[in-house]
Amino acid sequence: MLHAYAGTRDPLARHYTAEFVGSRFVDLFDREHPAGILDLGSGGGALSLAAARRWTAADIVTVDVDQQAGARICDSMRLVADRRHTHLQLDALDEDLPARLAHRSFDVALCNPPYLTLPWRQGFDRILSEAGLPREARRNPSPVAAETLFVAQILRMAGRRAEIGVIVPDGLVSGRRARSFRRSLLSRVSVSCVIQLPRRSFSGTDAQAHIVVFRNEPGGGGDIELARLGEDGLREPIRISWEAAENRMDHEFHLPRRTSGRSTFRLCDIGAEIVRGNLSSAEARSATQPVFHTTSFRKAPGASVELRSDFCADDRVGRRVARAGDILLARVDRNLHRKVCQVAAGSAILSDCVYAIRVPNRWKRAVLNALSSPSGSEALLKTSRGVGARMLSKADLLELELEVA
C-alpha cells in the first residue's frame, strides 16, 4: 500500500478526526430522525460519537479493520449509545460487506476513509458497478484511491435518498485526474455541500481535506454550496454551478478574490514559457554543481538572487538550468505562494520542485511584481492543490489571473 498523507507511513492511515470537526460534521445533515447510521473506517469513533449525540434514537453500525480501534470505539460508545451500537471488525472493502451486514440499508452514513492508494484487486469492479459508479471512477487504471471505493461501498448499503457525508482528500475535490470521478459522482448522487476543513482537523497530519455531503439519488444539476469550516463554524458560503463543481469543488478556489479594480493579465497571453526543473531530490543531493531547490528561496518574495555558478551549461535532456532574468517560483511546497524570486546573475540547475518563468523583457518587472504582491500570493494559494504540500500545475499557472501590481 502506498500512503497519500504527507510525512506518515501508517498502513491503515489512522489519522483521527478532531472532536470539533466531528460535531460540526453531523450538523451538516438535514435528516432529523434516521433509523440506521453506518460509519465505515470508524477508528476511535470521532464521527460516530458526534452522531450518537445528535441522533439519540438511531442504531449505529461501525466498521473498522483495526482491532485496537474496535476496543476503543466500543468503550466510548458504551457511554452514549450502549444498546444502539454494533461494531464489526471487518475489511470495509470486502466485496461481500453488504452480506456481512445482513443486507441492511442505512439512511445516514458517515465516513472519514483512509487516504491510501491500493493495488487493484478482484472485487473492486463489483463494488463500483453495484454502487452505480463506472469503472472509469478508478482515478488511475491501477492502483486505486481507497476513498473512491469507500464511497462506492457506502452507496451499496445506502437506502434511497440516504444522506451521506464523507471526508475526502483535496485531490478528489480539486485534482485534474479526479475530474472523471467528480463527473460520475455528481450525476450518480445529489451533492448538497462541500466544506473545506482547516488543515489541523486530524491527528498526526495537516492534510487538506473536505467534507462532501450528498443524497443517494441522481444529481439534478442544481447549484452546490461551498463553505469553509473555521473553529467557530461555517464561513464565507458561496454557491457554484454543477459544471463548475465538475472542474473543482474546493471553496478556496471558487471564493471570489478581493479585487482592487486594477487590470489583470495571464501568463498564457504574454508569451510566457514555463520550464519545470527535473532534478529529483536524490540527484540534487549528489549533484556537483549548484542546485536551486525550494529551500533556496531565502529572501522576501520578489527579491533578486545571485546564483553561485557561472558555468552551468544550458538546458539539456535531464537538466534544466536557471539563468539571469528567469523568474523562479516553487512548484511544490507548503509556502509556494511566497517562494518567488528573480535571477540577477549566475546559474544553477533547477530541482523538480521549481519552475523558471521566462517572459519577454517588457513583461519581466510586471510578472515579478504581480507574483510577489499580496494579490499574487492569494491567487497562487487559491489555485494550488494538494493534501499535504501544495502543488501548482503548469496549466493553472499559465491561466492564473494576475493583477498589475
Ligand X SMILES: C[S@@+](CC[C@H](N)C(=O)[O-])C[C@H]1O[C@@H](n2cnc3c(N)ncnc32)[C@H](O)[C@@H]1O
- Residue ranges that bind ligand X, judged by CB under 6 A: 12-17, 41-43, 46-47, 63-66, 69, 91-93, 112, 114
Give me the residue whose beta carbon is nearest to ligand X.
Answer: 43
Q: Least separation, in Å, of the C-beta of 81 and ligand X?
A: 15
Give whichever of 146 and 245 is closer to ligand X, judged by the CB atom. 146
Considering beta carbons, is residue 36 or 44 the nearer one to ligand X?
44
Shortest spacing between CB 11 and ligand X, in angstroms: 8
Question: How many whole angstroms separate alpha carbon 383 and alpha carbon 220?
Answer: 27
* Distance separating alpha carbons of residues 213 and 28, to the nearest angstrom: 7
Please identify which residue in the block is written with the cell numbers 502543488. Answer: 391
Least distance from ligand X to the Cβ atom of residue 102, Å: 18
Pairing state between β 106-111 and 36-40: parallel
Q: Of 9 and 362, which CB lies nearer to ligand X in the complex structure?
A: 9
Alpha-carbon distance of 392 to 264, in angstroms, equals: 20
Q: Which is nearer to ligand X, 11 or 271 (CB)?
A: 11
Smaller CB distance to ligand X: residue 65 or 80? 65
Question: CB of residue 5 vs ligand X: minimum separation in angstroms?
Answer: 9
CB of 291 to ligand X, least distance (A): 36
Whole-Å CA distances, 113 to 13, 92, 144, 243, 321 = 8, 10, 13, 26, 42
Q: How far apart are CA 289 and CA 308, in angstroms?
A: 9
- Smallest distance, ligand X to C-beta of residue 282, A: 30
Site of grid cell 478508478? 138
Distances (CA, A) of 371 to 38, 303, 330, 368: 46, 11, 11, 5
> Smallest gap, in angstroms, from Cβ of residue 176 to ligand X?
24
Three cell numbers at 314? 544550458
Which residue's CB is nearer to ligand X, number 93 or number 151?
93
Q: How far is the CB of 89 from ligand X (least distance, A)?
A: 9
> What is the rounded CA–CA span in Å between residue 186 and residue 224?
10
Least distance in Å: CB of 27 to ligand X? 16
7: left (phi over 0), alpha (psi -120 to 50) or beta: left
Closest to ligand X by CB, 67 vs 263, is: 67
| Residues near 106 by beta carbon (within 8 Å), at least 6 away in sequence | 34, 36, 37, 38, 61, 157, 158, 159, 162
Q: Angle at the Cα of 219 (from 213 to 220), degrees rounded to 5?
A: 125
Residue 290: how many CB atoms within 10 A of its CB? Answer: 16
Nearer to ligand X, 69 or 349 (CB): 69
Nearer Cβ to ligand X, position 66 or 206?
A: 66
Among left, alpha and beta (phi > 0; psi -120 to 50; other), residue 386 is left
